Amino acid sequence: MEFLKSMKTELGQWLSTDPEYIIEKCEDILSVKQGKAVSNQATAAEKICLLLDEIKKKGEGACVEFYEILKKEKAHYPGLQQHFSKNTQASSSPTVYADCSSTVDSRLVTRNRIKKDLIMHKTIQAGELNPSAQQDNLPQHWDTKPATTSVQLYSIQPGSPEYDEVLGLFRATCPCNTIIKIERVQNPNLWRSFQIQKQEIKGRNNGIINERRLFHATSYTTIEHINNNGFNRSYAGQNAALYGNGTYFAVNASYSADDKFSEPDSKGRKLMYLCRVLTGYFITGEQGMKEPPFKDRSEILRYDSTTKDPSDPTEFVVFRDCQAYPEYLITFLGV
């Protein structure tokens, strides 16, 4: 119970990237009525928020069962996987730091995994496990890069959890395409800009971020620019910009794999990014839009992104370049 209360914001962010997946895994916890109520929420963030509330209402037993599901399915959610990985690395030490002035003997809490996880969460927040990474605000799983470079591409080892996660998202709608390689894009400056934008959206939307894993087709002539400088909405309109003059991201890899978006080179190789995109609150877009519409009757606050059908979005358009981060570059062959 304490785990859900203390980690509600983080869980909301992590699980909102694919709410239907975790909802399905919780079908044995929720009643049919509760499951329908959760699935019928309008946005991913609202679905996860209600899911967590319903589980808390069912008591400690349901919370423990949910915790075990999260541990089992952590590979599907990068943030969740990083969280549990940090706890696993730190659990080998008999003493963990709860705050700056006190210590807790982990042997005293090994029988209560949820309590232990809460203690470790406080440890990570205090920056005790990896102070340099905490200070730099960079992902813990990034490799160390040479100090003279601003961006690096790292090939992900096939068969690793990281590789399998990206592969699974790609294969969900592109089962027949052959992947040549998957590379992690490490650009600290872009990542920090993305995190700043995330906090801005979170503050503006009362905690609602809607961070999604989406696909973006590209070509060999543009990857160098994207890897170094991120996305550029100035190029909007090169393909049909039906929902606004922003940068477009697809829910399904199969959409980005189309030859008109990811044009093959002479050897048949094609490219697309798996991105982190802050979709926030979104609404139907229109051709020619330079910014999202104002929210409700506001003359100041705008929606964060646009799409074709908010009830069943297949692609999203963002109008701020730092609203998306090109996390992985996938090189593959057409069918």
C-alpha distances in Å from residue 35, one per residue of 20, 48, 227? 10, 11, 41
Length of the chain counted residue by residue? 335
| Helices 78-90, 113-125: crossing angle, 10 deg rounding | 100
CA atoms within 13 A on the CB side of 151: 21
Whole-number percent of the chain with pLDDT over 90:
50
pLDDT in tens, 170-213: 999 999 999 999 999 999 999 999 999 999 999 999 999 999 99
* Mean local confidence (pLDDT), 66-95: 72
Task: Using pLDDT thresholds of 50, 70 and 90, give the confidence band for residue 107.
Answer: very low
pLDDT in tens, 275-315: 999 999 999 999 989 999 999 878 889 999 999 999 999 99
